[in-house]
Amino acid sequence: MLKHFVAPGIVLAALIFLPLVHSQTDKPRSPAPTAPGHDGWGRPIIPLAKDHKADPAPPHDISGTWEQPDASGNQVLGAKAAPEDGKPEHRLPYTPLGLEALNRTKPGNGTRSALPTEANDPVYSCDPQGFPRTDLHELRTTQILQTPQKVTILYQYNKIWRVIWTDGRELPKDPEPRWFGYSVGKWVDDYTLVVTTIGTDERTWLDRAGRPHSADLRVEERFHRADRDHLELTVTIDDPKMYTKPWVALDKFVMELQPSSFDVREMICSPSEFVQYNSLIGHTASDKDSH
């Protein structure tokens, strides 16, 4: 007789307590002295307190809405772990072909920065950033959705998304190039997903500093969930045509988990807004004959 009540009892208990478990993940955070802005719904973003003790990370799970705590994901001088700031330790190991390709790019930033109207950064005409530039420029609020077959990443900048297949498939042989390439992921431990991407479009730059890549580019991303509230991303570039050895572009870049109610602001490259920007200030600032 008792047996008849066990299964329904478990279901009933689950129905009662699951919402409580869910609400715990949305518990209010300790208030911080300053709030770094607002989400898309106008609600303040509250960073984690410095003495915040996070729960352990759930295994094989990097889902959630992740926010850079200090806006350093913008990476205005190029890949954060190797910015183009003139420091010798940040000089990349270019091959002769890589150096040639680099000299064709005219970024708006870094030691080689050009005037606004002379720069030839493809995103200035609202071309897709492509991959891996989505990690290496304007890496802002990042939403990660996960099923057993795939991890889907939704990026704030330009509201674009990409898929990482985790269903065990192999990378394609000689694929047709795509803006965001082809990605497969594998859990190397309970908290680390390693993603490999190939087949990216050569028209894209690696970062805002105009670092080039070839069709042979192979990118490794390591998503490591250090605890429940922190995700670290490391990106390594391997492109023997352009660089004599692999180099780390992003080194344990930290993102903080946001409440599931977090609404992501729109941030979209609009061609008409660029035209307006150019007509009002871009050309005014670049005009050499005005002085």
Tell me which residues in 68-87 interact with other proteins (CB under 8 A): 70-72, 74, 76-77, 85-86
Q: Please answer whether residues 263 and 241 qualify as being in contact, where contact means their C-beta atoms are separated by less than 8 angstroms.
A: no
d(CA 107, CA 284): 19
| Paired tokens of 187 | 């859990």
Among 119, 136, 139, 151, which residue interacts with other proteins (rule: CB under 8 A)? Answer: 119
Q: To 5 degrees, how large is the angle CA 256–CA 259–CA 260?
A: 120
| Paired tokens of 175 | 């694929």
Bridge partners (DSSP) of residue 234 are: 222
d(CA 181, CA 175): 9
C-beta neighbour count of 33 within 10 angstroms: 7
291 sits near other proteins (criterion: CB under 8 A): yes
Q: Total binding residues for other proteins by CB under 8 A? A: 49
Tell me which residues in 221-240 interact with other proteins (CB under 8 A): none
Tell me which residues in 17-56 interact with other proteins (CB under 8 A): 33-38
H helices of the chain, in order, are 2-25, 96-104, 133-136, 271-277, 283-286
277 sits near other proteins (criterion: CB under 8 A): yes
C-beta neighbour count of 190 within 10 angstroms: 12
CA-based radius of gyration for the chain:
22
Considering beta carbons, is residue 194 or 267 the nearer one to other proteins? 267
CA distances from 179 to 14, 131, 176 (A): 44, 6, 10
Considering beta carbons, is residue 4 or 50 the nearer one to other proteins? 50
Q: How far is the CB of 54 from other proteins (least distance, A)?
A: 21
d(CA 144, CA 224): 13
Considering beta carbons, is residue 87 or 186 the nearer one to other proteins? 87
- Selected range binding other proteins among 4-12, 96-104, 188-196, 272-280, rule: CB under 8 A: 272-280
Considering beta carbons, is residue 158 or 214 the nearer one to other proteins? 158
Q: How far is the CB of 21 from other proteins (least distance, A)?
A: 32
Q: How far is the CB of 272 from other proteins (least distance, A)?
A: 9
- Selected range binding other proteins among 4-12, 195-203, 236-244, 280-288, rule: CB under 8 A: 280-288
H helices of 80-204, in order, are 96-104, 133-136
Among 48, 61, 124, 163, which residue interacts with other proteins (rule: CB under 8 A)? Answer: 124
Bridge partners (DSSP) of residue 193 are: 187, 223
114 sits near other proteins (criterion: CB under 8 A): yes
Among 103, 149, 260, 276, which residue interacts with other proteins (rule: CB under 8 A)? Answer: 276
Which positions lie near other proteins, rule CB under 8 A? 33-38, 70-72, 74, 76-77, 85-86, 108-111, 113-119, 121, 124, 140, 156, 265, 267-270, 273-274, 276-278, 280-282, 284-288, 290-291
